[in-house]
Amino acid sequence: MNLYEKLLHNNNYRETVKKIENIRFITDGKWDWEHGLGHYKRVAQFTKEILSQLKVDERTIELGMVAALLHDVGLVKGDKIDRAIESSKIFMNYLDKDDISKEEEETLKQAISDHSKGNNIKSIIGLALVLADKLDVTYHRTENSTIQDTMNKEIQKIKKVTIKITNEDLMINYTTDDDFNLNIFKEWPKAITIPYKTSKYLNRKFIFKMNENNIDISGFIND
């Protein structure tokens, strides 16, 4: 059993995730996006895709996927905390120290602590995690929200997000309903600014598409 599967079968981890799934996170009285196992697994798959396209080794991919499963475990303490920092403090509670080196532990800790804003990217795992977390912005996140505001309803029109990284480009495509309003991301600009930031870190050109059509993102980016 690899480290990712071992974590998924860890009873302590599963109990923590259950507790998080039973909490309604209404940040600033506005959103209660899904932050449970579905989100963690989707972020893990995005992390795998990103790292695979960057042609890293299998151990790095595995560690990236583990970081994805653990990136929000700090939410077990509620939503009135810095979840990235709290998650970086407790993530080792769910891993066997014999399964991970001290250097790997430090890499995961830093990646998890930075995953929300990506202001201090220090590893390829950290880059993949912050990017993957922002790519999980499909209907799954808000369809069961108790607050169905304009933002949450609009998110439900995003059916799929794909990423392709070449030697020259970092391209993201949103598959959406025809009436999706991109301007909704002026309320949550990280969906665009984080991919843009990571493309610059990788020295790639950022291409943003919606239903395979190129989108002008100049109104979202402040260089």
The 3-state DSSP class for residue 214 equals strand
For the chain, percent of residues with pLDDT exceeding 70? 99
Section 90-111 average pLDDT: 96
Say which residue, 117 or 106, is predicted with more confidence: 106
Report the pLDDT value the prediction gives residue 223, as an integer from 0 to 100. 63
Report the pLDDT value the prediction gives residue 216, as an integer from 0 to 100. 92
Say which residue, 91 or 23, is predicted with more confidence: 91
Helices (H), the chain: 3-8, 11-21, 37-53, 58-70, 83-90, 102-113, 124-135, 150-155, 190-201
Report the pLDDT value the prediction gives residue 155, as an integer from 0 to 100. 95
Question: Is the pLDDT reported for residue 96 higher than 90?
Answer: yes
User: What is the torsional sign of CA 4, 10, 12, 17?
Assistant: positive
pTM of the model: 0.95
Report the pLDDT value the prediction gives residue 28, as an integer from 0 to 100. 72
Summarize pLDDT for 178-220 with one digit per residue, the tens. 999 999 988 889 999 999 999 999 999 999 999 999 999 988 8
Section 108-124 average pLDDT: 93
Report the pLDDT value the prediction gives residue 1, as an integer from 0 to 100. 59
Domains contained in the chain, CATH given: 3-157 (1.10.3210.10)
